[in-house]
Amino acid sequence: MILKDDMYLNFHAHQQLPDDDEIVIQSKFLQEDLIAEKSDKIFFTSGLHPWHANLLSESEIRKRLEKLVHDKSIIAIGETGIDKIKGPGLSIQEKVLKIHLEIAENHQLPLIIHSVKAHNEILKLKIDSKSKVPWVIHHFNGSKQMALDFIEHGFYLSVCHHIKNSSSRLSEYLNKLPLNRLFLETDDFDVNIKELYQVASEKFGITVHEMKRQLIQNLYDLLNVKKAN
């Protein structure tokens, strides 16, 4: 993998296509078979979203993920996770999450996590499982203490439009977090990734170019890929 460090990295999106100066990591729903060929500007992750956790059998989840990994179609597993507001019962969501974790561990791939009202459960599972692969909480919007707890236990956090909202708690404490554990994303919202980079850069007191270089480096670190000189 060779990435230009002057590109805007959109860590988690769904249908968005990149502009000439952007890299997009598209998260695909495992049940939809929509993975296309990767390019130097579009990469993919795939998982059974917790909202859809009852749509595929355990064997079908394993079969589909193993094929995507074997074909080198994805760079990470997920999104998977726990959502206490929407989706099937929590026991089903947790079982599906553990299947994803097992496959991620077997292939040494990062795990992309969807967590709604479930941060404590996700953190406990990470600790109890003694997982060796990196986990990323996408669209994180929790408290400062929760953010620090996640980071202390090896998580990365990917943040979205909340950083633009001056009344958001995340907006208030973002620059207190270690930048080498962060990503920026649009998710499936009508958000301009460049605007998020501008906001984040101002909060950290660095240039947009420095922000772009750091987040590209974070991706190399996440994937355990050595950056080409």
Q: Any idea which of 28-37, 43-52, 112-121 has the lowest mean pLDDT?
A: 28-37
Burial of 229 (0-12, 13-18, 19+ CB in 10 A): exposed
The 10 Å Cβ neighbour count of residue 94 is 17
Tokens linked to 29: 């729903």
pLDDT at 161 over 80: yes
Distance in angstroms (rounded) separating the CA atoms of residues 174 and 163 = 8
Domain architecture of the chain: domains with CATH: 27-223 (3.20.20.140)
For 80-121, how does the pLDDT look when each residue is reduced to its tens digit (9 = 90+)? 999 999 999 999 999 999 999 999 999 999 999 999 999 999
Q: What is the residue type of 133?
A: V
| Mean pLDDT, rounded, for 20-30 | 95
pLDDT at 71 over 70: yes
Q: What is the pLDDT of residue 5?
A: 85
Q: What is the pLDDT of residue 40?
A: 87
H helix intervals, 81-189: 90-107, 119-129, 144-152, 169-173
179 neighbors 154 (Cβ within 8 angstroms): no
Q: What is the pLDDT of residue 8?
A: 98
pLDDT at 135 over 90: yes
Q: What is the pLDDT of residue 35?
A: 65
Q: What is the pLDDT of residue 163?
A: 98
Q: What is the pLDDT of residue 39?
A: 82
